[in-house]
């Protein structure tokens, strides 16, 4: 065999091998994630999984929500994990109550016009909720927001010197879609001294330590599990769904064959229980996002 034919055949074999491994010669995929624990974990999981599948990924962490959004539209970022509620309310200014599926289909349709593709949503919902100490909630027989409101009103009427205290972050207290419409939905009467405004991160500690009787939290925060808090059911469906979903530019999916399939294989694994446990391991047990991501993927047989 001549040298030229040998080099041609060898090159063909190498290219075929790279194709089978999922290798792509396109530019690296830039992945933007926000500046909190859950997003750092999602970034680590995605980077490790996509690299295992042969994709070259460049993570960009601690990107502000609106900056990341504009960067995707301007083709500076290729993909992100976005929440349906964020897209509805922040990006599209829609505050109409919607089911989880309706919200997903709405943002998917709207973003398609911008060249952004919403892939399969994860079966998790990192939305707002109120939480109590678990032992306190069980002793009081409180499982839902309506039951919490009834208890608050009972105490307010019969024991005004011992009013229940609610811990809220400053943003939610003043938002047009925050505390006031929540009170209207649940017919919740509160006196001003019943509301304690604080940094969002301090609400969990305040509930755990009994400084407030109930507090506004994020449902998948690791401290919910780490502090053994009881998340109360939003039985009147006030809070929108925040299902996290991989969102990728359409031209990026076209340039990287198999990317959509790889990401859609991840989504079903990101459940409420799974991400809450991973958040706990980072925030409470002080493990790194990279380590918990590796352990998670290995537990699923994906590494």
What 3 state SS string does 84-127 have? HHHHHHHHCCCCCCCCHHHHHHHHHHHHHCCCEEECCCCCCCCC
Among 42, 77, 86, which residue's Cα sits nearest to residue 267? 42
Q: Please indicate whether residue 3 or residue 132 has the higher confidence score (pLDDT).
A: 132
301: left (phi over 0), alpha (psi -120 to 50) or beta: left
Specify whether domain 3-125+243-299 bears CATH 1.10.260.40: no
Strand ranges for the chain from DSSP E: 29-32, 57-60, 79-83, 116-118, 128-133, 166-169, 195-198, 214-218, 229-231, 244-249
Q: Is 10 helix (H, G, I), strand (E, B) or coil?
A: helix
Indicate whether 242 pLDDT > 90.
Answer: yes
Least confident piece of the model among 104-118, 156-170, 220-234: 156-170
**CATH, domain range 128-231:** 3.40.190.120
> Once rounded to an integer, what is the mean pLDDT over residues 270-281?
96
Average pLDDT of the chain is 90
Q: Please indicate whether residue 171 or residue 70 has the higher confidence score (pLDDT).
A: 70
For the four alpha carbons of 249, 252, 254 and 259, in that order, the dihedral sign comes to negative
pLDDT at 156: 85
Q: Where do the domains of the chain lie?
A: 3-125+243-299, 128-231
Indicate whether 210 pLDDT > 50.
Answer: yes
Task: Evaluate whether 173 touches 179 at the Cβ level (below 8 Å).
Answer: yes
- What is the CB neighbour count within 10 angstroms for residue 67? 13
Q: Please indicate whether residue 233 or residue 171 has the higher confidence score (pLDDT).
A: 233
Token output for 235: 């039985």
Least confident piece of the model among 31-45, 176-190, 230-244: 176-190
Do the domains 128-231 and 3-125+243-299 match in fold?
yes
């Amino acid at each position: 065999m001549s040298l030229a034919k040998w080099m041609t055949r060898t090159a063909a074999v190498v290219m075929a091998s790279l194709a089978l491994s999922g290798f792509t010669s396109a530019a690296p995929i830039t992945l933007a994630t926000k500046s909190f624990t859950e997003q750092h974990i999602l970034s680590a999981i995605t980077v490790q999984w996509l690299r295992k599948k042969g994709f070259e990924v460049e993570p960009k962490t601690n990107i502000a929500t609106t900056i990341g959004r504009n960067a995707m539209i301007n083709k500076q970022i290729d993909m992100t994990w976005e929440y349906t509620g964020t897209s509805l309310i922040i990006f599209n200014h829609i505050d109409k109550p919607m089911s989880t599926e309706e919200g997903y289909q709405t943002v998917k349709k709207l973003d398609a016009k911008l060249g952004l593709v919403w892939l399969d949503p994860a079966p998790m919902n990192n939305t707002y909720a109120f939480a109590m100490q678990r032992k306190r909630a069980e002793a009081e027989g409180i499982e839902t927001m309506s039951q919490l409101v009834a208890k608050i009103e009972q105490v307010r009427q019969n024991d005004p010197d011992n009013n229940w205290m609610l811990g809220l972050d400053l943003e939610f207290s003043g938002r047009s879609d925050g505390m006031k419409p929540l009170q209207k939905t649940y017919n919740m009467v509160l006196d001003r001294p019943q509301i304690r405004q604080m940094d969002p991160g301090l609400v969990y500690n305040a509930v755990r330590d009994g400084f407030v009787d109930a507090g506004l939290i994020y449902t998948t925060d690791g401290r919910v599990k780490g502090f053994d808090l009881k998340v109360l059911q939003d039985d009147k469906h006030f809070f929108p769904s925040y299902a996290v979903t991989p969102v990728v530019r359409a031209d990026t999916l076209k340039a990287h064959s198999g990317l959509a399939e790889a990401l859609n294989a991840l989504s079903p694994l990101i459940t409420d229980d799974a991400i809450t446990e991973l958040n706990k391991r980072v925030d409470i047990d002080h493990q790194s996002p990279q380590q918990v991501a590796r352990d998670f993927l290995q537990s699923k047989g994906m590494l």
